[in-house]
Amino acid sequence: MMRAGMSPARTILVAHPSAELYGSDRVLLESVSAFVDAGWRVITTLPAGGPLVDELRARGSEVVLCAAPVVRKSALRPAGFARFLGTAFAGLVGGSRLLAHERPDIVYVNTLTIPLWVFLARLRGIRVVAHVHEAERSAPAIQRNVLAFPLLFAQTIISNSRFSADVLASSFRSLGARARIVNNGVPGPAEPRAARASISGALQVIYVGRLSPRKGVDVAVDAVALLNQSGTPADLTLLGAVFPGYEWYEQQLRDQVVALGLENRVRFLGFQPSVWDTVAGGDVVVVPSRTDEPFGNTAVEALLAARPVVASATSGLLEATHGFESARTVTPDDPAALAEELRTGSGRWAQWREEALRDLPVAMARHSPASYRERIVELLNEPSATRATVA
């Protein structure tokens, strides 16, 4: 109960496109904790339920399910576009009611994929803080422009990397100039454990993330096949699941494993709420994305677990791995290059392992959740940003 004379807590409505626990979802949890710790009343709206809901409530946020159109590639197809329009109408009605009932001081829109919340908030004169986690540099210019256009109406823009800010600038120069760049706050394991001292038996390779063509999971499978064919035993553990509608890709991966004779070398673990035990049981993490990544949370998580990482030499992954001794980058969509880097690293394992241990405190300092929370709250008190700076 609020005491007499006390001001009511300010309210922030957080809009997010999914209820899962992947990269941007986990960063969202750090943002929510920042707002709660700063004394805000936090309401998070999601289009559907999922594992993120309980995590949000544990952090002190209220959760409201409200239909909202999410911009995905499926919306470009006739059937998908029809569903998108239907969801847009439901979102317009439900979102307007939610804003009228809660009357938030700020609407914090997490990702570019839910633009309706930007427009609904601005129509009511509510300040919008938009947090960008995307960087579709390889997409057609018109698609990039459509995704970026709603940000012109946001008072504050936060970008998770300079690469993301540069992609915004390629659509609208003013957006790149206004973006405030804040390194993702990435929690690591409670007690990081060093990798094993020597490679006895098979090299244990770990992939964490979505199972999708753009993430290059099939590239990792091919690389492990090449390692085994050349006399370097290697196992691959896949920790993640597909987007609904992409079940065909998981089946394609499973068929690939059988065709390459890797049934005893590749494990499909599906989605797991915590990745740390699996990563601790592995030797090296791979991030074989074949297209642009806005940043590279998975690469950072590997470093926070004191594990070497081999990532594609592209976009935000170069930014995420820059300055780390144990991080290697290879040509995207090149299984032979990935296999060769893994073979070389396993051949000089003692040195690679020590590099990962030296990288651990650097990663902890660079991606401290406490520093991230502090900076995010600071930006809530800034009505606008006039230039791109690393915060």
Find, among 171, 167, 170, the residue nearest to 181 by Cα. 167
pTM given for the model? 0.84
Q: What's the pLDDT score for residue 79?
A: 56
Mean pLDDT, the chain, whole residue set = 91
Distances (CA, A) of 152 to 77, 121, 322, 325, 382: 27, 13, 31, 39, 17
Structural domains for the chain:
11-185+368-390 (3.40.50.2000), 203-366 (3.40.50.2000)
Give per-residue pLDDT as tens, 208-260: 999 999 999 999 999 999 999 999 999 999 999 998 889 999 999 999 999 99
Give percent of the chain above pLDDT 70. 92
Q: What's the pLDDT score for residue 385?
A: 42
Q: What's the pLDDT score for residue 139?
A: 82
Give per-residue pLDDT as tens, 352-387: 999 999 999 999 999 999 999 999 999 988 765 434
Helices 297-304 & 23-37, crossing angle to 10 degrees?
A: 70
Cα angle 386, 389, 391; round to 5: 120
